[in-house]
Amino acid sequence: MLHHWSRRLFLAMSLAAMITPFVTKAETPVTVFAAASLKSALDELAATYADPVHISYGGSSTLARQIQHGAPADLFISANAAWMDVLEQDGLIVAASRRTLLTNRLVLIAGPDVDPDLTIEPGFDLAAALGQDHLAMALIDAVPAGIYGAAALRSLGVWEQVAHRVAQTDNVRAALMLVVLGEAPYGVVYATDAEASPDVRVVGMFPEGSHPPIRYPAAPITGANPAPAQAFLDFLLTPEAGEVFQKHGFGLPGDGA
């Protein structure tokens, strides 16, 4: 019981942390706008970096809009390519320095009280496993994890059976939370999210070909403070940093992702 509550408390606190705006001013330290799913890995890396790093985490779309409106970011790491493309078209990023920093995978997770007997394959009977319950996903039209997840389920031919049972959340961590709390027995999240929570079981990974590749592009913001931003990006691209990312469940582009 105590364990149960501390878990919930932890979730509540991390949730509160996610929504707390972390506004920074560009000085000598480098200011990074990064997708929320990168938090644990980036925090660890920033702590080992020589210069101070201020990181503002948020949804990729929110961060991109803030940058469009002149937010003082030096480096942007997005969880999807679409928003990076928008910024590139607007001439807001140093296009030549844009790199694919990381890759990620989608997994089907099951809650603590669920005994999964499922294998992810074309036409697998997810609908029967759900019964009257719900499948937790991020917004399927708006949030990258939801868009990828819907694409994966579609290509596996199970989307039609489960579409009406999908509970969509405004971010992928909230979908994870629904599964952790047992409100939804199954969920579709990133491998990195599943890695972050010991309370959920990974039923299986979605085949890489079942959805568009999940890439995290990174690029310095035009004009602001290019040198320190480039330096930090270079640091993130080192093999040492790569090991840390891998430890948190990310893939590196060189892995053939």
Partner 1 sequence: MSDWLGPAEWQALALSLWVSFFATLLSLPFGVFIAYALARWQFRGKHILNVLVHLPLILPPVVTGYLLLLTFGRQGAIGSWLYDNFGVILAFRWTGAVLAAAIMAFPLMVRSLRLAIEAVDPKLEQAAATLGAPRLWVFVTVTLPLILPGLIAGSVLAFAKAMGEFGATITFVSNIPGQTQTLPSAIYAFLQVPGGEGSALRLVVVSVVVAMGALLASEWLARRAVQRIAGS
CA–CA separation, 85 and 137 (whole Å): 24
Token representation of residue 64: 């991109």
CA–CA separation, 4 and 7 (whole Å): 5
CA–CA separation, 31 and 224 (whole Å): 10
CB nearer to partner 1: give 180 or 252: 180
Q: How far is the CB of 54 from partner 1 (least distance, A)?
A: 22
Q: What is the identity of the amino acid at 41?
A: A
Strand partners, 107: 189, 205
CA–CA separation, 166 and 171 (whole Å): 14
69-to-65, 87, 90 alpha-carbon distances in Å:
6, 11, 11
> Which residues form the interface with partner 1 (CB under 8 A)?
8, 11-12, 15-16, 19, 59, 61, 64-65, 82-83, 85-86, 134, 136, 139, 141-143, 164, 166-170, 174, 177-178, 181-184
Q: How far is the CB of 241 from partner 1 (least distance, A)?
A: 29
- Sort 85 into a burial class: Cβ within 10 Å, 0-12 / 13-18 / 19+: middle
Contact 104, 214 (CB under 8 A): yes
CB nearer to partner 1: give 53 or 218: 218
Q: How far is the CB of 132 from partner 1 (least distance, A)?
A: 9
CB nearer to partner 1: give 153 or 241: 153
CB nearer to partner 1: give 175 or 233: 175
Q: How far is the CB of 86 from partner 1 (least distance, A)?
A: 5
Q: How far is the CB of 50 from partner 1 (least distance, A)?
A: 35
Token representation of residue 37: 């799913």
CB nearer to partner 1: give 44 or 85: 85
